[in-house]
Amino acid sequence: MEPMKPMEPMKPMEPMKPMSGGEKWWPDNLGEPSSTGSQNSMRYAFFPKAHRLLIERDGNLSTYDSGEHQISGVQQSGDLPNFTSQNGVVRLDELKKVDR
């Protein structure tokens, strides 16, 4: 039986590259969103200063007036998403759809 050969020293690892924040998909006039997310084939961005919630589904962009709601999360329940706000759960069909 041959003796074991010594292990080769580890090669230096490449430095990690910063993660991409993703592409901006909302209009500039709304500023920066306070929360964004995606689930299934939908993504959202919430803009508290403008009181706007943007939803993109299958390439179609819709804008909603969020009123007093401060959107911080999303969950899918059936066909329509539900959002979390400081007042609890807000269904998308409770928000008024507006033109951009």
pLDDT tens readout for residues 22-33: 678 899 899 999
With CA atoms as reference, report the closest residue to 52 among 34, 38, 76, 74: 34
Work out the percent of the chain whose per-residue pLDDT is above 90.
40
| pLDDT for the residue numbered 68 | 92
**Long-range contacts (CB closer than 8 Å, 24 or more residues apart) made by 1-6:** none
More confident residue, 99 or 68: 68
**Torsion sign (Cα): 68, 71, 72, 73:** positive
Is pTM beyond 0.95 here?
no
Neighbouring CB atoms inside 10 A of 61's CB total: 14
Counting other chains too, the contacts that 49-52 makes at CB distance below 8 Å and 24 or more residues apart are: 52/98
Q: Are the CB atoms for 92 and 82 separated by under 8 Å? A: yes
